[in-house]
Amino acid sequence: MDHATSKDVTKKILDRKIIDLSHTLSADFPTLELPPEFSQAWAFKQEVISHYDDRGPAWYWNNFSCSEHTGTHFDAPIHWVTGRDYPNNTVETIDPQNFIASAAVIDASAEVAANEDWLLTVEYLQYWEARHGKIEPGSWVLLRTDWNKRIDNPAAFANLKEDGAHTPGPTQDAVEWLINERNVLGFGVETINTDAGQSFAWPLPYPCHTLMHGANKYGLQCLTNLDLLPPQGALIIAAPLKIKNGSGSPLRVLALIP
């Protein structure tokens, strides 16, 4: 590519519209609740270091704490036992070339409005491809459910009932198809879990965590604004913090729109 063309591409990148797919990180953000016998992740907490005061006259800044899986966040293969032995399976070591990728955005908002436990099937994915084109290898598959619109009601966002969480997700077959037939980069959702809330009780529990990470693939959780993306053509920038041995990380996820 000669210099003029390269400059031209740079201009076109800078001209693309950027959509922010990240929620605000605050103490109000709902955290995943696991059964009480398991250790829990920290919610987000902030404390002021100084605020233009005796503690620092000209500057304002905060300390903060959270978990690697708090807020809008990235799941690395090492997060799951099935992904533990891959080289470069942490947010520290994943090849950064993976942090920019295309996305296929599957709109199941109408289905999920009618059924909180709605499951993404192979059939649904094939019907989507018939309308929007094939899911490209190495691309994110992002499931739009409009779940993000529940964010101001943390109870509705977690949607915990006596028998566990009721949130949508992919079937085991759909996960296997995305891995084996489409070789995707990973799977992203608006909910707090890439797996359906009730999947803990399936023959293979948590198939998306188990199989995606078992195939060295990634997850994105608590995304927002997927309703602003085209079905195909968006570029996703999802670059987690370079946390030493990190299993994941809160991050800013951006989409570039043609």
Q: Rule CB under 6 A: choose which of 75, 107, 116, 190 binds ligand 92K.
A: 75
| Neighbour-count burial for 39-65, b at 16+ CB within 10 Å, e otherwise | eeeebbeeeeeeeeeeeeeeeeeeeee
Q: Is 22 in the site for a copy of itself (CB under 8 A)?
A: yes
Scanning 76-84, 117-125, 165-173, 189-197 for contacts with a copy of itself by CB under 8 A, the matching segment is: 76-84
Q: Which does 217 bind (CB under 5 to 8 A by kind): a copy of itself, ligand 92K, none?
A: none
Q: Side chain identity at 56, as an amino acid letter?
A: G
Least distance (Å) between residue 58 CB and ligand 92K: 7
Q: Is 163 exposed, middle or buried (0-12, 13-18, 19+ CB in 10 A)?
A: exposed
Q: Is 126 in the site for a copy of itself (CB under 8 A)?
A: no
Nearest residue to 253 via CA among 89, 142, 150, 136: 142
Q: Which does 144 bind (CB under 5 to 8 A by kind): a copy of itself, ligand 92K, none?
A: none
Count the neighbouring beta carbons within 10 Å of the beta carbon of residue 69: 22
Beta bridge partners of 236: 101, 255
Q: Is 9 in the site for ligand 92K (CB under 6 A)?
A: no
Contact 33, 40 (CB under 8 A): yes
| For helices 172-180 and 122-132, angle between their N-to-C axes, nearest 10 degrees | 50
- Count of residues of this chain found to bind a copy of itself when the rule CB under 8 A is applied: 79
Instruction: Tell me, yes or no, if 73 is annotated catalytic.
Output: no
Q: Is 193 in the site for ligand 92K (CB under 6 A)?
A: yes
Least distance (Å) between residue 102 CB and ligand 92K: 23
Touching ligand 92K, residues 152-181 (CB under 6 A): none
Q: Which residues are catalytic?
A: 79
Positions in the binding site for ligand 92K (CB under 6 A):
32, 34, 56, 59, 69, 75, 79, 193, 195, 206, 209, 221
